[in-house]
Amino acid sequence: MSYMLETNNLGISFGGLKAVQDVNLKIEKNCLYGLIGPNGAGKTTLFNMLTGVYKPTTGSFSLDGENLTGLSQETINHKGIARTFQNIRLFNNMSVIRNVLVGLHNQPDFKCNPFVSMIHAKRHYENESNMRNRAKELLRIFDLEEERNNLACNLPYGKQRKLEIARALATNPKLLLLDEPAAGMNPQETAELMDTIRFIRDEFDLTVLLIEHDMSLVSGICDEITVLNFGTVLDHGSTRSVLANPEVIKAYLGD
């Protein structure tokens, strides 16, 4: 059986500090997979390795059977891994719809040579209106269509998070990495977000790996979870069994 994401002893050290070591994840296709752990456990570092921000010092990872270790961020995105950021990184000086349009930039349907754009040939206009329609469809899913001409930095926090997911989806990924998608959301927004994540998983045929501290979200939607502590895997398995593990509770709450 081939896995969507498979990591083999993935690890990274900064100088003498082993930030993450020996992580073996096996995520099946269409799975909603959770990654939890106390602060500083290395969750975001793991995301950064999977998206090419950091080059792993040990081990390897593969997407859908294809080894992606050591590739650049751009290439990894083209191969099908998209992400959102823990500290929101939208293009703040752009309107909401333009943020999504940037995400659509590399889609094969919208290829357009810079020199064609320079003379604003007919192809350029067709391309732009097609991109715009696709972007509006994506925004509609996240209920952002009305705000499409607002500046991204003027959106409320929860909507900025949603916009980041929409923008990541625009790159047409196979695997979506969500870094604390519910941070800064109230319980009602979190509940809506859970529905949205499930919906996009089915609609776009995605596999989702998410980092989250909100246990109601994790236990609500994740099929499986992995717990990281001090850069190593503490436990992994189905959500129910992992959350009942006394070791995990100890890592979170202390003795």
Partner 1 sequence: MTYFGYVKNDFKFKHIVNYVIVGAALILFTVLQLVGAIPRSTSYLLTQISYSIILSVSLNLVVGFLGELSLGHAGFMCAGAYIGCYFGGILSEYIGSKLLVLIISMLIGGIVAAVFGLIVGLPALRLKGDYLAIVTLAFGEIVRNLCKNVPWFGKSLGLSTKTYGVKLFIVGFAVILIMLILLQNLIRSKHGRAITAIRDNEIAARAMGINVTYYKLFVFVFSAFFAGVAGVLYGNYATPVLYSFFSYNYSIEILVMVVLGGMGNITGSIISATLITIANFILTTKLSGDLAAIKNLVYALILMVVVIFNNAPALQSFKEKFSFAALNDRLMEKKRAKNPEKFAADIRNDSAQWSRIPTKISMDEILSTDVVSNEGIRDEGDKPSAK
Q: Whose Cβ is closer to partner 1: residue 167's or residue 236's?
A: 167
Q: Whose Cβ is closer to partner 1: residue 98's or residue 159's?
A: 98
Q: Whose Cβ is closer to partner 1: residue 69's or residue 106's?
A: 106
CB 88 within 8 A of CB 160: yes
Summarize as ranges the residues that interact with partner 1 (CB under 8 A). Answer: 12-15, 19, 44-45, 48, 51, 53-55, 57, 72-74, 77-78, 82-83, 85, 87, 89-95, 97-98, 101-103, 105-106, 110, 112, 114, 117-120, 124, 127-128, 131, 149-151, 154, 167-168, 170-171
Cα separations in angstroms, 95 against 91, 137, 148, 230, 241: 8, 16, 7, 40, 44
Distance CA 92, CA 47 (A): 23
Looking only at the bridges linking them, the beta strands covering 224-229 and 232-238 are antiparallel
CA nearest 81: which of 192, 202, 187, 208? 208
Question: Please, what is the minimum distance in Å from the beta carbon of residue 167 to partner 1?
Answer: 7
Q: Whose Cβ is closer to partner 1: residue 26's or residue 78's?
A: 78
Question: Please, what is the minimum distance in Å from the beta carbon of residue 185 to partner 1?
Answer: 20
Q: Whose Cβ is closer to partner 1: residue 139's or residue 194's?
A: 139
Question: Please, what is the minimum distance in Å from the beta carbon of residue 222 to partner 1?
Answer: 23
What are residue 164's phi and psi, to 5 degrees? -60, -40
CA nearest 214: which of 182, 237, 170, 172? 182
Question: Please, what is the minimum distance in Å from the beta carbon of residue 115 to partner 1?
Answer: 9
CA nearest 155: which of 85, 89, 92? 92
CB 90 within 8 A of CB 102: no
DSSP 173-233: -SEEEEESTTTT--HHHHHHHHHHHHHHHHHTT-EEEEE-S-HHHHHHH-SEEEEEETTEE
Question: Please, what is the minimum distance in Å from the beta carbon of residue 191 to partner 1?
Answer: 27
Question: Please, what is the minimum distance in Å from the beta carbon of residue 95 to partner 1?
Answer: 6
